[in-house]
Structure 1
Amino acid sequence: MSVVRSPDGIDPRPDDMHGTPVRTPIHPRPLGWYLWRGALFGALGVVALVAVLILVVPMVAGGHRYPVGNSSALGVPSGSLAVVHPSAAIAVGDIVAVPADAGTVDTREVAALSTDARGGVVLLTDGGAAGLEPVPVSDVSGVLWYAIPGLGWVGGLLAGPVQMWALPAIAVVLFGYLGTMSVRAIVDGRRRRRGEGADEV
């Protein structure tokens, strides 16, 4: 005859001597289960951080995303995703984004400031092997805030109307998963406490 046990591992039938429920031992989870859970939460945290840097920060602070084509600036390899501020003041040492082909930008470090014949500001940028290259400040897309290496392709995917639903979709998935994990942790904790209470009886 089969015995139906409650979810917390307690046999609802009383034993013959004390009239108390007979608790089925709850075996501890293996180490691999905790390692897998830790790796999963770590990966989820990385994805959430990248999503914030790519979507939330530019949207809230008024920045723009651009794939980096060519780069002569240290720490900003080609293929990165650059987040720039279009209205920031430009100073020597800043890294600026200069529009290039197919919606990409070239990133260069400002080596000096100059003026043209009409009094307009010209940036003398480090063009790498080409030496100093003058760039009118009006041609600059903005000053680099930060760059995420290897994610330049994301800038192309998020162009246009895609970014209107990408942020809500990612937020729903992340918060939904975190909510599910929180509920499961609470339920597991209550089950363990009930099991410990049955042992004491």
Structure 2
Amino acid sequence: MTEAPPTSRRDDRERRRASPERSLVSYLGSAAMAVILVVILAIAAAAIVVPAVTGSTALTVLTSSMTPNLPPGTLIVVRPTEPDDIHPGDIVTYQLRSNEPEVVTHRVIQRTALADGQLIFITQGDANPTPDETPVQEVQIRGTLWYAVPYLGWVSVWLTGPWKVWAIPLAAFLLFGYAFILVLSHVREKRRS
């Protein structure tokens, strides 16, 4: 009786690498990582790139006055809009007091032209039972709602708070570490083959 020659470890590795199960898992893992990367890039584009390129402003909804359409934590992008182009039904972001940073985002329910031609707007939060007390003047308007991304605002608040000091460097470190692991894995595969 003759014995089959022993196989080398390299042959075993090659056989395992060529197995269909391993290939499928490898392809699924790569596809999942590609999808995650595309989603991250899309979110970054929606939250950072598009507003910067168009002169718009990204803000976070912090109260429930616009629920259910804009619940707390929603990232909204507000683009500059001429007051003449604002009509009832539009959602506007305006300063509570001129030249102060605090803003509110509510729906316009009425638009009125004064005798001098200046427009004033009556606004109301979708969840509020009554209109806002003070009419909004043209100079207070920062723009109209362009688009909104649910929950992304909480990430923005988290990254601009006290966590920003270490969260961004940590995220960068993790991304570079992952890229390094991918490159190292690719180099190892090349050497094996």
Within 5 Å, which residues of 2 pair with 1:96-175? 96-99=92-95, 105-116=103-114, 118-128=116-126, 129-133=128-132, 134-156=135-157, 157=159
Q: Deviations over 1:109-142 (max 9, x none)?
A: 1122113465421112223434223222221221
Question: Are 2:34 and 1:37 equivalent residues in the alignment?
Answer: no
Match of 1:95 among 91, 96, 111: 91
- On the 8 A contact 1:81/1:149 being kept in 2, the answer is yes
Instruction: Decide whether aligned partners of structure 1 residues 100 and 77 sit closer, same or farther in structure 2, where only a CA change above 3 A counts.
Output: farther
Give the whole-Å Cα distance in 2 for the aligned partners of 1:55 and 1:47: 12
How many corresponding residue pairs? 160
1:84 to 78, 103, 107: 78
Matches within 5 A, 1:53-92: 53-70=46-63, 71-72=65-66, 75-88=69-82, 89-92=85-88
- Alignment CA distance shift 1:103-1:69 (3 Å): farther
User: How far apart are the structure 2 equivalents of 1:73 and 1:122?
Assistant: 24
Counterpart residue identity of residue 42, structure 1: V
**1:79/1:105 Cα in 2 relative to 1: closer, same or farther (>3 Å)?**
farther
Deviation at 1:61, TM superposition (A): 0.9
Question: What is the Cα deviation at residue 158 of structure 1?
Answer: 5.7
**Which residue number in structure 1 is paired with residue 3 of structure 2?**
none
How large is the Cα RMSD of the aligned pairs?
4.1
User: Which consecutive unaligned segments of at least 5 residues does structure 1 have?
Assistant: 10-22, 192-201
If the length of structure 1 is used for normalisation, what is the TM-score? 0.59
Partner of 2:18: 26
Determine which structure has the larger strand proportion and give its number: 1
Q: Distance between the aligned counterparts of 2:81 and 2:24, measured in 1?
A: 52
More helix by share: 2
Cα shift at 1:97: 1.3
Q: Distance in 2 between matches of 1:92 and 1:136?
A: 14
Q: Is the 8 A contact 1:66 1:105 kept in 2?
A: no
Judged with a 3 Å threshold, the aligned counterparts in structure 2 of structure 1 residues 98 and 3 are, in CA distance, closer, same or farther, namely same
How far did 1:148 drift?
Answer: 1.3
Cα–Cα, structure 1 residues 150 and 139, in superposed 2: closer, same or farther, change >3 Å?
Answer: same
> Is 1:66–1:103's contact at 8 Å kept on the other side of the alignment?
no
Task: Return the offset for 1:73.
Answer: 6.1
Give the letter for the 1:66 counterpart.
L
Q: Distance in 1 between matches of 2:17 and 2:26?
A: 19
CA distance in 2, matches of 1:153, 1:47: 15
Residue ranges of structure 2 left out of the alignment (5+ in a row): 1-5
Amino acid at match of 2:91: I
Distance 1:74 1:137 in 2: 27
Q: TM-score, normalised by structure 2?
A: 0.61
What secondary structure is seen at the aligned counterpart in 1 of 2:18?
coil
